[in-house]
Amino acid sequence: MSPGSLAIVGAGIHPFGRNEGVSGLQMGVAAARAALADAGISWADVQFAVGGSDSAGKPDTMVSRLGLTGLPFTNVINGCATGGASLVTARAAIAAGQHEIGLVVGFDKHPRGAFDPRPEDWGLGAWYGDLGLMVTTQYFGIKIQRYMHDHAITSASLARVAAKAFRNGERNPAAWRRKPLTDEEILASPMVADPLTQYMFCSPSAGAVALVVCRPELAARFPAPPVYVRAVSMRSRRFGSFEVFSPSMPVTRGPSPSQEAAQAAYAEAGIGPGEFDVVQVQDTEAGAELMHLAECGLCEHGAQEELMRTGATELGGAMPVNTDGGCIASGEPIGASGLRQVHETVLQLRGQAGDRQVDGARTGFTHVYGAPGVSACAVLSR
Amino acid sequence: MPGPEGTAAATAARRPAAWDLPPVAANLFTTADGTPRLIGSACRACGTLAFPQQQSCPRCCGEDVTAALLPPEGTLWSWTVQRFAPKSPPYAGGEAGFSPFAVGYVALPGGIAVQGRLTGTDAPGGYRIGMAMRLVLEPFLRQDGTTVAGYAFAPAPGDSDQPAGRGQVAGDGPAAGPDDGSVAS
């Protein structure tokens, strides 16, 4: 395994949920303070920052709360892959030798209900929104419907993914949906975008995560056990990838950005599928978790049915997936979700994940995916 | 609103009213040759089709592209049902009187699949991957009270095999959005 080019030495989270009365920026500041305290440093020690938010304001404005130290603060916005892109940005700054210690932060806060993006922001004509096609949930329903047809995946497996998420969320104090639901309750909840029901979907929510990162050689200076970023990667879509907000697409499928980002991360890290003790993948809805596992090469296409039937992705299984409850239990604050996955992996690799700890976890993988076809992956280890 | 069917003569005699409505957008579709056709673009270098018409090729990025009428019939690649009223804006239809509608991609000859509303079945869940579909125009009532023509795909007349989809589980009444009736936490 490569030595890695980045260490995570501080981690902080503001609990995810509706969080009425607290702004996204306030959550970001709270997470940043928690990460700084965890690393045992002050804001004045931070040489650069990277922040992401889609809908809750400009991250660099948090310097007015944390301190006007004059540091360079880069704002990142890449849809639901924002957190992954932020980590990629921070790694580049440290690997290039520009800085030694930085803060990566992501936060967001969204109104209730489905997202309401504007066609004009996505290069589309107003007609696309007029006719009711500008809806992310449609994409996920259409994609998993085809996937189930091609690979003999059943709705029972979709329900098992969501039930696992709520069970794991029950064990995570920072999660939002912490009440376990049975497979039957999930299947019987109202249909949102066939074949996906209400409880198979994540909901837009609020929350924040921050990480203190540094050059690996400095990691021993900090009090917490370091977690090393062995690889990070990011890819946008190629011709032939089926993505949200696409009025048309080629019939012949090409590689997905998730597939390519994962392969790049494995190549850089020198470890890959079969070698991860804990895995986090984008679970915008239950089908996305199943499809992303295969796109990332963590299982064969169609093998998910057996994985779910045997509990392989549960806590205690051979490959625990979305151990903190994922997006389904945490909701989706766009700017924070990618870093939530990394935060959870840091806790697992430190042995600080409490009731959901994967015994002896040494290696982890994270995958985040966002519109209009962006994926970022990371390989982490003790 | 039934789609155009039968011979050209019969079509002319039963010209659907939607054809005479103002289109939801210019340069999206045409009925100039007596049948609805989507207006896409074709790359002169690599032949790749795109919809709607765009100024460069999504595959080779070449800028030598030309308008192309897409084939009006194909097969259903995949589909879902929009069970809740999308937020307005951007949705022009509004929440009042909303009925769930199906959406899908239809694979057309020439290697392109086009997204659109699906219509022409008794229930919005009555679709099947692989079924033959054809382009139709249908009236679309905007919440500002105006009616425009939108495009949709309906089962082609030859495709009589229309099993009821599982989409009827939730019924056709007002459906909850993904965040209504939260899971108690």
Q: What ipTM, to 2 d.p.?
A: 0.94
How many Å apart are CA A368 and CA A16, to the nearest integer? 17
pLDDT at B13 over 60: no
- A203-239 tens-digit pLDDT: 999 999 999 999 999 999 999 999 999 999 999 999 9
Tell whether A252 is covered by a domain.
yes
Beta strands A191-193 and A196-197 are antiparallel
Q: B176: nearest CA in chain A?
A: A190
**Whether B81 and A141 lie within 8 Å, measured CB to CB:** yes
**Residue B172 pLDDT grade (very low, low, confident, very high; cuts 50, 70, 90):** very low
Tell whether A149 is covered by a domain.
no
Tell whether A132 is covered by a domain.
no
Write the DSSP string, A209-275. EEEEEE-GGGGGGSSSPPEEEEEEEEEE--TT---SS-SEEESS----HHHHHHHHHHHHHT--TT-
Tell whether A155 is covered by a domain.
no
pLDDT at A17 over 50: yes
- B49-93 tens-digit pLDDT: 999 999 999 999 999 999 999 999 999 999 999 999 999 999 999
A111 to chain B, closest Cα gap in Å = 10
CATH number at residue A37: 3.40.47.10
pLDDT value of residue B159: 67
**Whether A138 and B82 lie within 8 Å, measured CB to CB:** yes
The answer to whether B182 and A328 are in contact (CB under 8 A) is no
Q: Which chain A residues are within 8 Å of B24, Cβ to Cβ? A: 127, 130-131
Q: A238: nearest CA in chain B?
A: B59
pLDDT value of residue B179: 36
Q: Which chain A residues are within 8 Å of B48, Cβ to Cβ? A: 250
pLDDT at A38 over 50: yes
A354 to chain B, closest Cα gap in Å = 19
Query: Which residue in A138, A178, A191 is closest to B175 by CB distance?
Result: A191
Tell whether A156 is covered by a domain.
no
**pTM attached to this predicted model:** 0.92
The answer to whether B23 and B138 are in contact (CB under 8 A) is no
Domain that holds residue A303: 6-113+201-381
CB atoms within 10 A of CB A179: 13
**Domain count for chain A:** 1
Q: Which H or E run includes B141?
A: strand B132-141
Tell whether A14 is covered by a domain.
yes
**Interface A:B, Cβ pairs < 8 A:** 178
pLDDT at A240 over 70: yes
Tell whether A339 is covered by a domain.
yes
Q: A167: nearest CA in chain B?
A: B185
Tell whether A181 is covered by a domain.
no
Q: B115: nearest CA in chain A?
A: A247
Query: Which residue in B82, B103, B179 is closest to A113 by CB distance?
Result: B179
Q: Which chain B residues are within 8 Å of A284, Cβ to Cβ? A: none
